[in-house]
Amino acid sequence: MGILCGRMNHIGAYIGEACRFYVMLLLFAGAAGKFANIRAFQGTLEILFDVPGAGSGAVAIGVVAVEVLVAFLLLIGGEAARVGITAAAVLFLGFTGVISMVLLRRTPVACNCFGGASHEVSISDLVRSVGSLAACAFYVAQFDGRAVLSVAGLVMMFGVALITAILSIRLSDIVSLSFR
């Protein structure tokens, strides 16, 4: 039983790292997309929060900066990643709240979560946000600063995270294609 528990903890550490990479990739992609289309993101903020142009511009740049900072903390790993994952969870809680508000009010607004107004905010965005929170929670639950993980294992977990992040980012497109 002791060997099995040790092995499960080891597997959990790898899955936790995949969760860290996933959250990091989502944050980098979100920041890059928002920055590339900052005016569109600013417009979304103006609609959602009735903030005038200058204020929404400052908030838009602030959100992008925080996403980049948190993503870099996750990239560093170790104790920095623990701080980063907590900050990411707070961000995703905020995003989940905003998405929930939009859905409850039935406000027709472009997502701009990853730049570009590809779709209106939908339940798919809420699912992604809740999934991101779950990834944060799993990482925290599995974090073991003493775990020694192989480079090959970490590369594989990065690949899993990359595929999962791409699917998450394109989730609304996948859902819309599935119901055509």
Domain that holds residue 63: 12-178
Extract the tokens encoding 69.
């900072």
147 vs 17, which has greater pLDDT?
Answer: 17
- How much is the pLDDT for 146? 66
Helices 123-142 and 2-36 meet at what angle, rounded to 10? 140
The per-residue pLDDT of the chain, averaged, comes to 88
Would 164 be classed as within a structural domain? yes
Q: Is 51 contained in some domain?
A: yes
For 134, residues 6+ apart whose C-beta sits below 8 A from its C-beta are none
- pLDDT at position 26: 97
Question: Is 5 a member of any domain?
Answer: no
Residue 31's pLDDT is 96
Q: Is pLDDT above 70 for 5?
A: no
State pTM to two decimals: 0.89
User: Quick one: average pLDDT of 36-45?
Assistant: 89
In the chain, how many domains are there? Answer: 1
Q: Is residue 173 part of a domain?
A: yes
The verdict on residue 98 lying in a domain is yes
Distance CA 157, CA 140 (A): 16
- Whether residue 118 contacts residue 34, with contact meaning beta carbons closer than 8 Å, is answered with no
Report yes or no on 2 lying in a domain: no
Interval 109-157: pLDDT, tens: 888 888 766 688 889 999 999 999 999 999 999 877 667 788 898 999 9
Which residues, including other chains, have CB under 8 Å from residue 70's CB and lie 6 or more apart? Answer: 27, 84, 87, 88, 91
pLDDT at 180: 63
Does residue 145 lie in a domain region? Answer: yes
Residue 4 above 50 pLDDT?
A: no
Tell me, yes or no, whether 1 lies in a domain: no
